[in-house]
Amino acid sequence: MVAFLLGAALSYFIGSIPTAYVYGKWTRGIDIRGHGSGNIGATNTFRVLGKGPGIFVLICDILKGIVAVVGVAMILNISGAFARAGLGLAAVAGHNWTIFLNFKGGKGIATSLGVLIGLAISFPALWPALGLTLFLWGVVFFMSGYVSLASMVAAVGLPVFVLAFHLSSELMVLSAILCILVIIRHKSNITRLLCGTENRVRFGKK
C-alpha cells in the first residue's frame, strides 16, 4: 500500500508536467492558455504553434501515461492490473488538474492513450480493444474533422470493446472511468458542437 501511494503521487506529478505550456514559454515566449482554445493539450498546440510542436507535445503527453504505468510500476515493484490502472488514473488526473497551473490542465486524451498503451504492454489482451478504439477515433475524425467528437466517441467505444473482448474487471472499470473523465472534460466542446461553433480541421486547407 505504501508503494502504491508513493507511486500514485509520483504518477500524478509526472502527469502534472504541462508540456504544452512549458514548450510555449521556453521556445516562443507565449502562454498557450491565452491562444486558440486556451487548452494546454496537443490539439491546441497544433493549432497555435504548428505541426512540429504539436507532435512533440503529443508524444510527451502520451509518454507521461506510459511512464506512470510501466516505469513507476517497475521502479516501485507494483504489479497487477488494478494497481497499474490506479497509477494511470493518477497520471491522467495530473494532466487534467495540474498542480503547476492552479489545478487547471488539459483534457487527458493523449495521456489516457499513454496509460492504455502502457497497460497493453503489460497485459497484451488489451491490444485488440485499444486498436479498435484508435481505429474508431480515426474514422470519426476523418469523417467529421472534429478532434473533440472523435475523442468522445472513441472514449465511449473503449469500454464497449473491453467488454466485447471479455477483458478483466479491472480494465473494464478503468475504461469506464476514462470514458467519464473524457466526457466531463469536453463539456465546453459539447456545447460548441451543438451550437455549430466547434473548431474543425478542414483537410486540404491551411
Number of residues written out for the chain: 206
Crossing angle of helices 109-122 and 51-66, in 10° steps, is 50
The CA-based angle 31-90-133, given to 5 degrees, is: 85
Q: Is residue 200 part of a domain?
A: no
C-alpha 32 chain-centroid distance:
18
Number of domains in the chain: 1
CA atoms of 52 and 132, how far apart (whole Å): 27
Task: Tell whether 204 is covered by a domain.
Answer: no
Q: What is residue 1's predicted lDDT score, i.e. its pLDDT?
A: 80
CB neighbours of residue 142 within 10 Å: 11
Q: What are the pLDDT tens digits along the chain (206 aa)?
A: 899 999 999 999 999 999 999 999 999 999 999 998 888 999 899 989 999 999 999 999 999 999 999 999 999 999 888 899 999 999 999 999 999 999 999 999 999 999 999 999 989 999 999 999 999 999 999 999 999 999 999 999 999 999 999 999 999 999 999 999 999 999 999 999 999 998 887 665 44
Q: Does a structural domain hold residue 84? A: yes
Predicted confidence at residue 204, as pLDDT, reads 54
- Burial environment of residue 196 by CB neighbours within 10 A (0 to 12, 13 to 18, 19 or more): exposed
- In which domain, by residue range, is 35 found? 2-195
Does residue 206 fall inside a structural domain?
no
User: Does 159 reside within a domain?
Assistant: yes
Q: Where are the alpha helices (DSSP H) in 69-108?
A: 73-75, 81-96
Q: Indicate if the alpha-carbon torsion angle 115, 87, 159, 95 is positive or negative.
A: negative
pLDDT at 203: 60
